Each structure stands twice: as C-alpha cells, then as structure tokens.
Amino acid sequence: MNIKCLICKKNFILKRAFKDLLSCKKAYVCDKCVKENPIKIQFNYLPLTNHQLEIVSLFEKPYLNYDAFIIEYSQIYQLLATRNKPIYLYDSFVLKEQNLLEFDYLATQLDDDIIILTNTYID
Ligand SMILES: [Zn+2]
C-alpha cells in the first residue's frame, strides 16, 4: 500500500509481515521521518494554588502537521485518560503568566489537577 508521509510529503510503502498481512495497519509518517523526529515524552509539573498543572510533551521541536503522529497521540491520551483528570490538547503549548493564571482558575473551578498533552512545550 502506497501512502504519502504527512511530514516530508514523499510516498512510502507500509511494510507488512505475514502475520499482519490482513490486519488494518496504519501509519502516517515514513520510517525516515520517524527516525528524524523521535518521540521523547517529557513530564513537567507546575504548582497551582491548590492543584497542579502537568504538561506532557512529545517532541523537542514543533511540527507543521499535527495529524502526523495521531496514532501515538491517541495511545498516550488513552493512558492519561485512565487517571480521570481533565486533559487539554495543544499543538504547541507556550507557557505565559496569563495562561498559568487561567489554568489556576480552571483547576479551582474543576477542583482537580489539569493535564496538558502537547506536541511541544516551550516555557
Ligand atoms: Zn517522511
């Protein structure tokens, strides 16, 4: 099956082994782009007044196409969702004084910690 890579825009072939020949295997990024853009999950914890803001970032640099790693995002999201805390998704999350105040207010209103899942975290 010929697929266009969502990062480099080149066509690539999705390799299959005999055991997954009939499965619905999906990929949106070619092997070269996966090697050049490895996922490095980082956890950053910021204290709020009564709760905490947890920022889970996947990459060290921002990406143009948010959909390229949607499979990995959904797997990480499902893991985080088991903790039953509000999760917010950002393409790139830039920490500013103003949005820290907003998350502090939101955490107080929800009476819970907040998780942010983002491509890139810039503090
Ligand atoms: Zn590529």
87 strand-pairing partners: 115
How many angstroms does the Cα of residue 2 sit away from the middle of ligand 1? Answer: 13
Strands (E), 60-122: 87-94, 114-122
How many angstroms does the Cα of residue 111 sit away from the middle of ligand 1? Answer: 42
How many angstroms does the Cα of residue 3 sit away from the middle of ligand 1? Answer: 10
How many angstroms does the Cα of residue 34 sit away from the middle of ligand 1? Answer: 7
Query: Closest by alpha carbon to 63, among 72, 51, 76?
Result: 72
How many angstroms does the Cα of residue 4 sit away from the middle of ligand 1? Answer: 8
Task: Please say if the pLDDT value at position 18 is more than 70.
Answer: yes
Whole-number Cα distances in Å, 90 to 18, 81, 83, 115: 38, 16, 19, 11
Strands (E), the chain: 2-4, 11-13, 42-47, 52-59, 87-94, 114-122
Q: Find the largest Cα–Cα distance for the chain.
A: 55
How many angstroms does the Cα of residue 65 sit away from the middle of ligand 1? Answer: 12
pLDDT class of 92 with cuts at 50, 70, 90: confident
C-alpha to C-alpha distance for 119 and 61, rounded to whole angstroms:
8
How many angstroms does the Cα of residue 52 sit away from the middle of ligand 1? Answer: 37
pLDDT class of 26 with cuts at 50, 70, 90: confident
pLDDT class of 24 with cuts at 50, 70, 90: low
How many angstroms does the Cα of residue 117 sit away from the middle of ligand 1? Answer: 23
The C-alpha torsion from 17 through 28 and 78 to 23, rounded to 10°, is -30
Task: Please say if the pLDDT value at position 66 is more than 90.
Answer: no
* Higher pLDDT, residue 5 or 19: 5
Give the start-to-end residue ranges of the domains of the chain: 1-36, 38-122
